[in-house]
Structure 1
Amino acid sequence: MYTRTFQIVPQTCQFKRHTINLNVTSYKMIDTVTGPGAQPFAVQLKALTDLEGRYQPKLSGLRLIEGAQDNGLRMTTRLRELEVKDLLSLTRFFGFSSDTFSLAISLLDRFLSVMKIQPKHLSCVGLCCFYIAVKSSEEEKNVPLANDLIRISQSRFTVSDMMRMERIIMEKLYWKVKAPTALRFLRLFHGHIQEQLDAESKTILSLERLEAQLKACHCAFVFSKIKPSLLAMALLCYEAQEQHDPEHTDKISEALTCLQKQLNIKGEDLVCMRELIGKCLADYATAKCSKPNGQRLRWIISGRTARQLKPSYYKITHLPTIPESAL
């Protein structure tokens, strides 16, 4: 049987083949907790911000990707964005949580920033990052078989290839998975702000809409270079500004200003980020934007493949959209 050998190098090193079953229990996520019984906001915030810098993709590696020519020989921003959209499509197809998607993108960007990979290996890297995130965030009963993931995503590598690549990814990331993602910051900030608002003002910032906007931002390479806390903060500021409801947004703005001071974020950085988010969401809303393709997945599960898959794999069939208004 033909077995693919991966050549993914930080400089000139080559990796040997690996066949291993990873123990996912060693890197389970520690969720941000809100509501009664949760740790004080300041304690949770400090815990996340202390870890944030350690899990950031390396800027030098991201700049290499940003400056690469799209000639099919090197990783580029376009290829990374296409891969992320495929992972978003898989997330929707399986009905997985936003946590799974955000963690998968964190793993992918961190790995791409420290390793030089050939474009032909990107689909295997992306699917492995996705699989690690699934095993870390989802209930065990909902974790699909690796072989099913390969078939549904129309990939051309084997389960053995996936196992070797998964080991390479985990080694290069030092087995550190539970990253403080922008989603975790977003939920923490949103919960903190909601506690300071009256009943009417609380309806302004829809967490569902904010999470959908964050997924759109993850599809754009530019946000890979931004700290998760800054991205989450800027997204909240952007959404509050877009509501055009002075009576209630004034209270939200006051809460956001206090939060900005706690995070020690410069005003000009926040303004710049809001503009980037606005452009990203405007582009995502256009017909020209290449949104995750649900049709691709619906096609691959027809016939014999469909009969071999679990019924629970048919949860989502529509394209991901951002809600028009808050609930």
Structure 2
Amino acid sequence: MIDRVNGTEALPFAVQLKALLEQEARFQPKLCGLRILESAHDNGLRMTAKLRDFEVKDLLSLTRFFGFSAETFSLAVSLLDRFLAVMKIQPKHLSCVGLCCFYIAVKTSEEENIPLASDLIRISQNRFTVSDMMRMEKIILEKLYWKVRAPTALHFLRLFHFRVQEKMDADSKKILNIERLEAQLKACHCSFVFTKIKPSLLALALLAHEVEELYGFESVVVLREAVQDLQLLLAVKDGDLVCARELVAKCLMEYSTTKCSKPNSQRLRWIISGRTARQLKHSYYKIAHLPTIPESAC
């Protein structure tokens, strides 16, 4: 049976946070596996961190192409990282693994208009078959013990943002933009360095970085205090938060440069049949790369 994070939206903040933190450690990618991936040389025979990043960017393009939610993308990345941390796969199998993780996330998130596996293969221009996908999906689920719905950084980010908003007045609530924060998180997901950071710490670092960027606003003092309160609740050391925040700042700075403004350097070429084209809804044709992070805070 597929394991899920039960809906806790109506529960008090402390209860929600406790539930997420209790599951976070169990779903964290194995560090030893990530280190093997990080140390691998790019010789075409072994999986590398760079290949992982390319695959995540392709999954982001698919997410945008189909108009799926941020939850689906974050879950797909979580599944991919957890699987890569326990299985040594060959680069030639990565596209199948990535698409299967994406498809599992789509079905788990209960998206509307779930595409057929055959259409996913055709649209992403892969050469494997539906049978290949079915076998790979079974392998992924078995290796992850059918525990699919993991707490992601997106869960923590939205919970933290809601908590901070509770401490703000009506006008100040507009300052901290959740859409901007989620766009920043998507950029971070595309970088291997964040696979080794707990989702809760990544979410806190994103929030702390954004608050520091708002130094000109009167309510920044309240925001800083709110972040400090969250840090105490999470028992995060100052040094760990500073380190994570610096990694976030570096990632977002690289993202903002001309070279990295389109993170998917291997742009997908979408090839579909007339039958598939007629089945796709209008929004499917709005192909886009990583969404632009809003410049303003409001």
Q: Name the TM tier (shorter chain).
A: over 0.9
- Match for residue 168 of structure 1? 139
Out of 100, 106, 118, which is 2:78 matched to? 106
Deviations 1:44-99 (A, max 9, x none): 00000000000000000000000000000000011000000000000000000000
Out of 30, 33, 36, which is 2:6 matched to? 30
Structure 1 length as normaliser, TM-score? 0.86
CA 295–67 in structure 1, closer or farther in 2 if over 3 Å, else same: closer
Looking at structure 1, the residues matched to 94 and 271 of structure 2 have their Cα atoms a distance apart, in angstroms, of: 20
- Within 5 Å, give how 1:222-301 maps onto structure 2: 222-289=193-260, 290-292=262-264, 296-297=268-269, 299-301=270-272
Looking at structure 1, the residues matched to 35 and 145 of structure 2 have their Cα atoms a distance apart, in angstroms, of: 22
Looking at structure 1, the residues matched to 78 and 214 of structure 2 have their Cα atoms a distance apart, in angstroms, of: 29
Letter of the structure 2 residue corresponding to residue 321 of structure 1: T
CA 151–29 in structure 1, closer or farther in 2 if over 3 Å, else same: farther
Looking at structure 1, the residues matched to 5 and 123 of structure 2 have their Cα atoms a distance apart, in angstroms, of: 26
CA 240–315 in structure 1, closer or farther in 2 if over 3 Å, else same: farther
Looking at structure 2, the residues matched to 315 and 196 of structure 1 have their Cα atoms a distance apart, in angstroms, of: 41
Letter of the structure 2 residue corresponding to residue 240 of structure 1: V
Q: Shift in Å at residue 243 of structure 1? A: 1.6
- Match for residue 125 of structure 1? 97
- Unaligned 5+ segments in structure 2 are none
* Kept after mapping to 2: 8 A contact 1:111/1:173: yes
Q: Shift in Å at residue 286 of structure 1? A: 1.4
* Kept after mapping to 2: 8 A contact 1:73/1:119: yes
Looking at structure 2, the residues matched to 265 and 115 of structure 1 have their Cα atoms a distance apart, in angstroms, of: 30
| Aligned residues between the structures | 296
* Kept after mapping to 1: 8 A contact 2:58/2:268: no
Deviations 1:253-273 (A, max 9, x none): 011111110110001111111
Looking at structure 1, the residues matched to 17 and 102 of structure 2 have their Cα atoms a distance apart, in angstroms, of: 26
- Within 5 Å, give how 1:64-103 maps onto structure 2: 64-103=36-75
- Match for residue 5 of structure 1? none
Letter of the structure 2 residue corresponding to residue 287 of structure 1: T
- Unaligned 5+ segments in structure 1 are 1-22
Q: Shift in Å at residue 248 of structure 1? A: 1.0
- Within 5 Å, give how 1:125-164 maps onto structure 2: 125-139=97-111, 141-164=112-135
Letter of the structure 2 residue corresponding to residue 279 of structure 1: K
Out of 87, 94, 109, which is 1:115 matched to? 87
* Kept after mapping to 2: 8 A contact 1:213/1:322: yes
Measured on the aligned residues, the alpha-carbon RMSD in Å equals 1.8
CA 281–188 in structure 1, closer or farther in 2 if over 3 Å, else same: same
* Kept after mapping to 2: 8 A contact 1:100/1:134: yes
Q: Give the fraction of aligned pairs with identical amino acids, expressed as a percent.
A: 65
Q: Shift in Å at residue 294 of structure 1? A: 10
* Kept after mapping to 1: 8 A contact 2:46/2:91: yes
- Match for residue 4 of structure 1? none
* Kept after mapping to 1: 8 A contact 2:5/2:151: no
